[in-house]
């Protein structure tokens, strides 16, 4: 059974840092699991097949770490099979309106709350702290990453079935006419960042985001109320570590 988020710590205001998996090598999660509170498994922009996603979720379970999987789109064919893997929850990209949030919530929840199809897959077969019941649908987190989504964020956050909202800063920046890598500390982003967390707080749901390896930025996001923050990913961390190591070696060699 999926390893749950520490909701008690989240409710107490504790920030939980996430590591992103985007390459088809779920064994990476075994290497880093002691360092991170949860895993962001990228089924949208990542290079993971269905089998690799399932392997990643199983690996997260084996190391007792929550797994949130970003699905490809809003469709039944994207949402249902990933939830059947028994991940901790899903992140649905590009949710711009309350109606879109309602639709993905409907596709994520079993009847009578929604229209999700039932299958005797991993969610019922894998033992855990207790057998899964039909009411344990997994968390639904919707991604806010456009100017339109920010304008509708209060209604999106209040949508029944939505358990959290996730800020996607790169796409939001481009939607606002900015460079995709505009620092989150830029004053122009202050209003949308605050509005998202205020909407989550008012709805009593999780505020999460893709953050930064910069400690000051992470501290700022935490102060604003983001409690689940993805800090880095396999490719980003490997690239940065490789560049730093080579530079140190060249410096030593003269």
Which residues have a catalytic role annotated? 45
C-alpha 156/C-alpha 203 separation (Å) is 9
Residue 12's Cα: distance from chain center in Å? 20
Report residue 101 as tokens: 């949030």
Q: Assign 111 to helix, strand or coil.
A: coil
- Is 91:43 a contact under the CB 8 Å cutoff? no
Peptide bond between residue 120 and the one before it cis (omega within 30 degrees of 0): no
E strand or H helix at 192: helix 190-203
In 3D, which of 136, 142, 138 has the Cα closest to residue 98? Answer: 142
C-alpha 11/C-alpha 40 separation (Å) is 20
- Is 159:108 a contact under the CB 8 Å cutoff? no
C-alpha 89/C-alpha 181 separation (Å) is 27
Report residue 45 as tokens: 């922009």
Apex 172 CA angle, 190 and 94, nearest 5 = 130
C-alpha 207/C-alpha 220 separation (Å) is 14
Q: Kindly report the backbone phi and psi dihedral angles of residue 157, in degrees, each rounded to the nearest multiple of 5, phi listed first.
A: -65, -30
């Amino acid at each position: 059974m999926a390893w749950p988020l520490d909701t008690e710590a989240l409710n107490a205001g504790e920030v939980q840092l996430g590591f992103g998996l985007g390459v088809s090598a779920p064994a990476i999660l075994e290497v880093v699991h002691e360092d991170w509170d949860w895993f962001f498994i990228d089924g949208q922009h990542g290079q993971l097949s269905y089998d690799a996603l399932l392997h990643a979720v199983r690996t997260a379970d084996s190391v007792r770490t929550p797994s949130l999987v970003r699905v490809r789109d809003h469709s039944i064919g994207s949402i249902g099979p990933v939830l059947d893997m028994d991940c901790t929850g899903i992140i649905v990209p590009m949710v711009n309106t309350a109606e879109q949030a309602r639709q993905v919530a409907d596709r994520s929840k079993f009847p009578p709350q929604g229209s999700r199809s039932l299958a005797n897959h991993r969610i019922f077969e894998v033992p855990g702290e207790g057998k899964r019941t039909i009411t344990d649908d997994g968390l639904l987190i919707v991604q806010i990453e456009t100017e339109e989504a920010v304008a509708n964020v209060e209604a999106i956050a209040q949508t029944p079935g939505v358990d959290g909202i996730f800020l996607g800063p790169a796409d939001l920046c481009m939607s606002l006419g900015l460079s995709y890598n505009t620092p989150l500390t830029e004053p122009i982003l202050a209003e949308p960042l605050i509005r998202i967390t205020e909407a989550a707080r008012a709805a009593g749901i999780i505020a999460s985001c893709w953050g930064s390896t910069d400690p000051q930025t992470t501290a700022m996001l935490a102060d604003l109320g983001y409690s689940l923050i993805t800090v880095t990913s396999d490719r980003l961390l490997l690239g940065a570590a490789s560049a730093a190591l080579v530079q140190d070696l060249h410096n030593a060699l003269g």
